[in-house]
Amino acid sequence: MPSEERRPLLSSNDCQQSFGVTVDELSRLVDPKNPELLKQLGGTEKICQKLRVDPRVGLSADEGAERSTDKPFAQRQAVFGRNVLPEAKSKSFLELLWAAYNDKTLIMLTIASIVSLAVGIWEDYSPQHPEDEPRVGWYVHSYHLLRKVAGGFWGVTETKFNVSPISRVEGTAILVAVLAVIFTNAINDYQKEAQFKKLNAKKEDRVVKVLRAGKEQQISVYDLNVGDIIDLEPGDIIPVDGLFLKGHNVACDESSATGESDTMKKQTGDKGDCFILSGSKVLEGVGRAVVIGVGENSFFGKTMMSMRGTETEGTPLQVKLDTLAEQIAQLGFAAAITMLLTLVIKYFVTAALAPQFPAGAEIAAAMISIVIQAITIIVVAVPEGLPMAVTMALAFATTQMLKDNNLVRVLAACETMGNATAICSDKTGTLTQNKMTVAEGTLAEEVFDTPEQAKDWASRVDKKVLPLLKEAVCVNSTAFEGKDENGKIDFVGSKTECALLGFTKVLGCDYETIRHDSKTVKVFPFASKRKTMTTIVQTLESSAATKSQSDYRVHVKGASEIVLESCTHYLDSRGHVKKLTKESEVKWGGVISAYANKALRTIAIAYRDISADQLSNVSNDEPPLEDLVLIGIVGIMDPLRPGVVESVTAFRQAGVFVRMITGDNINTAKAIARNAGILTKGGLALTGPELREMSLEEQRKVIPRLQVLARSSPTDKTIVVTRLQEQDQVVGMTGDGTNDGPALKLADVGFSMGIAGTEVAKEASDIILMDDNFNSILKALLWGRAVNDGVRKFLTFQLTVNIAAVVLSFISAVTSENSESVLSAVQLLWVNLIMDTLAALALATEPPSDELLSRKPISKYAHLINFQMAKMILGQAIFQIAVNLCVIYLGDKMFHLSQSPYDQAVLRTMVFNVFVFLQVFNEINCRRIDSALNVFKNIFNNWIFLAVQVVVVLGQFMIVTFGGIAFKTVPLTPTQWLITVAIGSLSIPVGTIIRLLPDCGCQRRFSEEAKPLATYSRMSWEGAIGDVRNELRVYSLLRRSHNKHRGTRARSSSATGTPRINAAHNYGALHQNANGGNRFAALVQNAQNFQRAAQNAAQNQEAQN
């Protein structure tokens, strides 16, 4: 949401002078609803006058632009505000720093380091301090540190280096390292928050229909002003407060605003409830309202402002990782306490056996050193980077998904989509381009086969037919002419209605003139339950069919077979109304089937003339759909989107079962599903009514093979989702209508249409397809799998470092003479930075590749760590511990180093360098968590990973070369650098060996793949077996027929030699004319068909494997 600066509104007197009504008065109209105040202000008409708006025209775009520098509606916005909530106060960088530091282990480490620093300073100035040793305060520590850095740069000789028993700068170095950690985390959180802020602004923006300067147009919701005239349509979520002006059967769901579950009917003026609450949903009807409250002054705005600051729940993956992090932290605490107790016992035992017991200051310093080591072990062991990794992965993925036209509303949906096993997709606009045109038609019994022939059709029908058709299409529609997203003049609204209006334009029709001349009485908008739209208009005398029925005309359009069932008559080419007989009904049914088999969407257009008395009996809820006169049927072409066939194939390869659920005719749905590759051999195609009539057990039985559901209702979508989820499927569902809300909410991932979807559908969904494109769902699957994989890669890397660092520190500290770990506290903090923030940034932001589609979905019950990961974690950890221990205890001989303090410092630096470069190369190794051997594949596609690796290597070089006494390092020679890097690089070949180790059946035993309900190969087998079963049934009938025929021929004096096979007639044309001479040939053909089907099934099985 764009930011809104807080500007002081004009004073109440200025408001009165400008508009005659105040913000407070308008606000008190709706919160709560106040009919008495409405009367005091003069009613709706008087308020429109005070707001300086004509309800028939709307606001003018140049209002108040007296000077060229003035913005439109500047004065109106200064008085009533903009429809934008003030930007939520985000955390400052200092607050983010404090949040990053607000960690118990970091606080404990800080305290210990300060105590260490204080002891060092006290030791310098204590009476026991040796006279011949210089005193070094904290300021001298800094100088000493810089001197060591400079010495490291220019070269350090053995005589210049002196190792103090207790590093006098360790406390300072730890504090600097802690600051580095919290600064890195704070910067990362700041960038993440900025990404989510941009995402939320995009998520909340949408377009609304308004009346301005007498024309309907679409504007951003942020551009609405008090006084605007907005359109109300089913599925809208009203973004502002308003007063109802006019409309037909408008009913709103205000439960989200008031808590009342009753549907609220809206009426004008003092007839009833005329108050429109922001945040409420339009359930049915169409109408208009005047805006009286926007932004923080609206009912919804006040609610949102009061809710700010509430914490959001973690995603399922975050919850899993939090649990795992707690378990690992407990193990880390146990290791730290064990190490603490062991080192303390060892120290006092050693001190007791020494000739002279150490002084108090020395004991205190030793204890502080041991405590620091223990706390550092906790810092390293606690995987605080795990939750951060999933947050970072989601932040990166959702930002990138926005570029792929996936607007993620619910973060959890991103990771859930990665485990999807079933996709239930709409047809129109999702699988198809939603660029509808009338391709063919049969109107008044005259046919046109191309849009170009439409004009010729008009010349072949009576002159009374064309005006009737134009009125039927133009009046019974909510579409209008406006500008598309590219600024091009085009029809806006339902794509079906746009196609029909485009058809009338070909016929030379001006829809605006027809609408202006007609007087609309009642409108029944399209409802998925009825699958029709109805408009009742007052009829002109000249256009009435008969004088007795000249009062009103009912126009109906909708699903062809449903409208046809309501028709009792039809219109012929001469404009005569004829009775719809059985023969003519079959003929019109054939027209529907012919168009549907060409994958055309069939729409029937009908009308009926009624009298005033009949109109008075018409319900406000149900349109009069009886005794209609059929004008004709048109076939609307909506071609498949480019790439849909490839996407369906990719979903199949990825183990995701695609189903098409549509409101279209069954033949149309099957034709398009075959073209898209959705309907395959052995798959089922049913209609919504057929599915609803089945028992629960029957539904569960057919759902696995169901690929197409036609003439479906929103209830059918809910049934399909429920049955799939009962069988542990992770379901993605698309929807665009208001009534799709329950199914979208019920699905594991709900996809709504950004272009054609209603606001209710968008609100119920998890992801908005901004281009309404099926291919975008495949991209969402890829990013979902990339998020899950990214977190698992990071988990594999971090747990390896955790185990190696903790075990190595413990063993080296316990076995060393001075009870110090080979990795100092400052070095471990650097390692912690590598394995937490930087590793999360590198591994959790890996972009997806098409390889992710070559594996099956992971079960939603699968553990975070699979067998392959566990094998890699344990194998690499054991290898790293073994290598580092060899360097520690055999390094003197391996690298020809003496026991001098300098050579021992070199050895410790080499151990540190080896350990870090083992992690650097293991991070590359962890890019693959499967059994693939090429870990460098697509590495250059992730610049973040490469940048992090460069930063770590440069940081390590600086620490080793210039870290000096702070990091307890000395500069290494080029040879020593090559040796340590070479040892570190062994992580990659070791990873290859671990991958090649036999699984001994464990991989299969601990398989995490989701169990598919049905496979395409199995369906092919079942289809082939079903064909053979039908053929054998036919053969059995043929035999019985032949035996019966032989008996008849023996008794008959005039045998004809033709067998009676009426019983087999219904089983196919292959056997309709079967006789004694060709039955064997038919059986041979059946056998060949079976063999072909078996081969196809075997090939499919091979492809699946």
The CATH number linked to 43 is: 2.70.150.10
Q: Which residue has the tokens 């939320």?
A: 200
Answer whether the bond into residue 989 is a cis peptide, omega within 30°: no
- Read off the tokens for 307: 């809710």
Closest CA to 628 of 642, 644, 646, 607: 607
Q: Is the dihedral of CA 1011, 1017, 1020, 1025 positive or negative?
A: negative
CA atoms lying within 13 Å on the CB side of residue 169 = 23
The reply to whether 617 and 665 lie within a common domain is: no
Q: Which of 613, 637, 661 is the last residue of a domain?
A: 637
Q: Is the dihedral of CA 490, 494, 495, 498 positive or negative?
A: negative
DSSP string of 130-190, one letter each residue: -TTS----HHHHHHHHHHHHHHHHH---TTT----SS-TTHHHHHHHHHHHHHHHHHHHHH
Q: Which of 307, 334, 367 is the last residue of a domain?
A: 307
Give the span between the Cα atoms of 650 and 656, in whole angstroms. 9
Contact between 806 and 905 (Cβ < 8 Å): no
- Read off the tokens for 802: 């955790």
Other Cβ atoms closer than 10 A to 647 = 25
Instruction: Reduce the DSSP state of residue 859 to 3 states and report it.
Output: coil
Number of domains the chain is built from: 5
Contact between 262 and 252 (Cβ < 8 Å): no
As to burial, measured by CB atoms within 10 angstroms (0-12 exposed, 13-18 middle, 19+ buried), residue 138 is: middle
The reply to whether 630 and 678 lie within a common domain is: no
Edge-to-edge strand ranges of the sheet holding 749-753: 406-408, 767-769, 749-753, 731-735, 422-425, 657-661, 706-710, 684-687
Give the span between the Cα atoms of 308 and 301, in whole angstroms. 11
Q: Which residue has the tokens 């959180």?
A: 189
Give the span between the Cα atoms of 178 and 112, in whole angstroms. 12
- Predicted confidence at residue 399, as pLDDT, reads 83
Instruction: Reduce the DSSP state of residue 577 to 3 states and report it.
Output: strand
Q: Whole-model pTM?
A: 0.73
The DSSP bridge partners found for residue 282 are: 252
Give the span between the Cα atoms of 1095 and 1099, in whole angstroms. 6
Instruction: Give the structural domain span for 1044.
Output: 1016-1104
The reply to whether 587 and 445 lie within a common domain is: yes
CA atoms lying within 13 Å on the CB side of residue 839 = 34
The DSSP bridge partners found for residue 607 are: 555, 629
Spacing of C-alpha 596 from chain mean position? 33
Domain annotation covers residue 391 = no
Q: Which of 716, 748, 772 is the last residue of a domain?
A: 772
The reply to whether 956 and 913 lie within a common domain is: yes
- Predicted confidence at residue 481, as pLDDT, reads 80
β-strands 577-579, 567-571 pairing: antiparallel
Q: Which residue has the tokens 């106040």?
A: 34
- Predicted confidence at residue 654, as pLDDT, reads 92
Q: Is the dihedral of CA 1079, 1085, 1088, 1094 positive or negative?
A: negative
Domain annotation covers residue 507 = yes
Range 955-987 burial, b when 16+ CB lie within 10 A, else e:
bbeebbbbbbbbbbbbbbeeebbebbbebbbbb
Run of H or E including 36: helix 35-40
* Residues ≥6 apart with Cβ < 8 Å to 350: none
- Read off the tokens for 708: 């197409």
Domain annotation covers residue 343 = no
Run of H or E including 557: strand 552-559
Give the span between the Cα atoms of 471 and 518, in whole angstroms. 9
Q: Which residue has the tokens 């360097």?
A: 887
Give the span between the Cα atoms of 448 and 458, in whole angstroms. 10
Give the span between the Cα atoms of 560 and 604, in whole angstroms. 4
Other Cβ atoms closer than 10 A to 331 = 14
The reply to whether 591 and 721 lie within a common domain is: no
DSSP string of 689-738, one letter each residue: HHHHHS-HHHHHHHGGGEEEEES--HHHHHHHHHHHHHTT--EEEEE-SG
Domain annotation covers residue 378 = no
Give the span between the Cα atoms of 473 and 504, in whole angstroms. 8
Give the span between the Cα atoms of 838 and 187, in whole angstroms. 12
Three-state secondary structure of 348-399: HHHHHHCCCCCCHHHHHHHHHHHHHHHHHHHHHHCCCHHHHHHHHHHHHHHH
Rounded to the nearest 5°, which phi and psi values hold at 480? -150, 165
The reply to whether 761 and 825 lie within a common domain is: no
Give the span between the Cα atoms of 502 and 525, in whole angstroms. 20
The reply to whether 159 and 212 lie within a common domain is: no
- Predicted confidence at residue 385, as pLDDT, reads 66
| CATH code of 609's domain | 3.40.1110.10
The reply to whether 765 and 794 lie within a common domain is: no
The reply to whether 768 and 820 lie within a common domain is: no
Domain annotation covers residue 587 = yes
Domain annotation covers residue 864 = yes
Closest CA to 302 of 277, 276, 273, 266: 277
Q: Is the dihedral of CA 868, 870, 871, 872 positive or negative?
A: positive
Active site residue 426: yes
- Predicted confidence at residue 510, as pLDDT, reads 84
Run of H or E including 440: strand 437-443
Contact between 370 and 819 (Cβ < 8 Å): yes
Give the span between the Cα atoms of 779 and 411, in whole angstroms. 16
Q: What residues in the chain have per-residue pLDDT under 50?
A: 1-16, 67-69, 128-129, 132-168, 310, 542, 544-548, 1049-1078, 1080, 1102, 1104-1105
Instruction: Please pick, among 241, 253, 404, 426, the residue that the annotation labels catalytic.
Output: 426
- Read off the tokens for 894: 């391996």
The reply to whether 560 and 507 lie within a common domain is: yes
The reply to whether 586 and 628 lie within a common domain is: yes
Instruction: Reduce the DSSP state of residue 243 to 3 states and report it.
Output: strand
- Predicted confidence at residue 230, as pLDDT, reads 95
Closest CA to 735 of 700, 695, 786, 769: 769
β-strands 731-735, 281-293 pairing: unpaired
- Read off the tokens for 49: 């006058």
Domain annotation covers residue 1024 = yes
DSSP string of 47-112, one letter each residue: HHHHTT-BTTTBB-TTTT--STTPPTTHHHHHHH--S-PPPPPPPPHHHHHHHHH--HHHHHHHHH
- Predicted confidence at residue 518, as pLDDT, reads 87
Give the span between the Cα atoms of 798 and 814, in whole angstroms. 24
Instruction: Reduce the DSSP state of residue 670 to 3 states and report it.
Output: helix
Spacing of C-alpha 680 from chain mean position? 28
Closest CA to 468 of 443, 488, 442, 448: 443
Give the span between the Cα atoms of 250 and 282, in whole angstroms. 7
Contact between 767 and 781 (Cβ < 8 Å): no
Report which residue type is found at 698.
E
The reply to whether 753 and 814 lie within a common domain is: no
Spacing of C-alpha 93 from chain mean position? 30
| CATH code of 876's domain | 1.20.1110
Domain annotation covers residue 912 = yes
| CATH code of 426's domain | 3.40.50.1000
Closest CA to 499 of 415, 605, 408, 416: 605
